[in-house]
Amino acid sequence: MRLVFIRLDHLGDILLCTPMIRTLAEAGHEIEVVIPAALLQVFANSPFVKRVHAIEELCPEFPSRWWRLGRWISKSRFEGVLVPHGRDPGVLLASMWSRANVRIAMWGGWLGRVTGHRCLRSGLLQQPRHFSEIMMDIAREFGVKPGGPVRPDLFPSQSTVESVANLVSNRIGTCKLIGVHPGSLGNACNMPSGAYARIIERLLERDDVVVVVTGTLHEGGLVSTWSPAIIKHPRFWNSMGKLGIHELAVLVKHMAVYVVPSTGPLHVAAWAGTKTVSPFCASPSLSPVVWGNVNGNGVDLTPPETYCTRMRHAQKGHCDFGGQVTADMIFEKVCDVL
């Protein structure tokens, strides 16, 4: 069956759908994907995806002119539409307009039902399970029994592997490479930027490590208040805004350990097999059970669940852990891993 997968949000969410896409492809389905242009590299070189499309090219005015996306789906004669995040009204309406025979939405809600989708429930609050496993329910709707790993897929080219390896070798010498990712783009509870500076200060007291900080160009402001003792340290490496997704993935593969919150690069580390230390919310829907490192090498630090529940009610959103998870706690765990 010819299927189109549409997901228009974040790196981590899309990465965690790749095991489901692989499972469907291995079962004989032909899959094309529609994602933001900035994330096209997620599926570059993938043997499981026939074509990758940027939403900005297919429908530049989306979501205001969602019907153009629906018309493209219809003209492309896809037999099925996969909507892993059914809370985007524009995607649901475009899917309805497409007239595809099979339309599946996870978390479609009332609009998903009204637009004729087969809406799936995750059971996330009643029985938490990893997000990758939740996405596998879409494959199950096609009668496919998942049997492979739920680790994400990425396919960096050999030239990228070699160029990043050379860069790392020149940077670290005989030291161990420690990664620190201070940002989460506001999508999860996270420690303040100053806490990550404290972790790096303590790591740089060791003479056997080089610390590389990762992030997007837009997250560069997180390090702007860090002391010159960090920024100008010979074993500090600021890679923010300088790496594509595949370059980041290969860099992460060289890390001895990666300090990273609940955000996209954590799932890059899951692909790489890299050990991670992560501050995490304990609330069931945001916990490591759902969003943690699936490669088996993740160490997670969470506040008491009662604290997280109270803060989510009080702030109606994400918090900075209020000192319940500290820089020194993270540093000690990193040393344990090393």
Report the candidate in 180, 169, 184, 239 with the shortest Cα–Cα distance to residue 204.
Answer: 180
With CA atoms as reference, report the closest residue to 281 among 258, 314, 304, 315: 304
Is 158-337 a CATH 3.40.50.2000 domain? yes
* pLDDT at site 185: 82
Given this model, what pLDDT does residue 79 score?
Answer: 97
Query: In which band, very low, low, confident or very high, does the pLDDT at 148 lie, cut at 50, 70 and 90?
Result: confident
Distance, in Å, from the CA atom of 185 to the CA atom of 175, rounded to the nearest integer, reads 30
Asked if residue 186 has pLDDT above 80, the reply is no
Please give the Cα distance from 152 to 272 (Å, whole number): 9
pLDDT at 124 over 90: no
pLDDT band at 194; cut points 50, 70, 90:
very high
Condensed to tens digits (0 to 9), the pLDDT of residues 27-80 reads 999 999 999 999 999 999 999 999 999 999 999 999 999 999 999 999 999 999
The mean per-residue pLDDT over the stretch 257-280 comes to 98
Looking at domain 2-140, its CATH superfamily turns out to be Glycogen Phosphorylase B; (3.40.50.2000)
Reply yes or no on whether the pLDDT at 277 is more than 90. yes
* pLDDT mean over 164-193: 94
Task: Tell the residue number behind the tokens 């820089």, with chain if given.
Answer: 327
- Looking at the chain, the number of H-run helices and the number of E-run strands are 15, 12
Q: Where in the chain is the domain with CATH 3.40.50.2000?
A: 2-140, 158-337
Residue 132 has pLDDT above 90, yes or no: yes
- Amino acid present at 285: S
The pLDDT-based confidence of 247 (bands split at 50, 70, 90) is very high
Confidence class for position 312, pLDDT limits 50, 70, 90: confident
pLDDT of 299: 97
Dihedral sign for Cα atoms in the order 238, 217, 6, 279 = positive
Spatial separation of the C-alpha atoms in residues 133 and 20, rounded to whole Å: 8
So what's the pLDDT on residue 187?
82
* Degrees to nearest 5, angle at CA 335 with 264 and 273: 40
**pLDDT at residue 125, rounded to an integer:** 82
Q: Is the pLDDT of residue 257 over 80?
A: yes
- Tell me what the pLDDT averaged over the chain comes to: 95
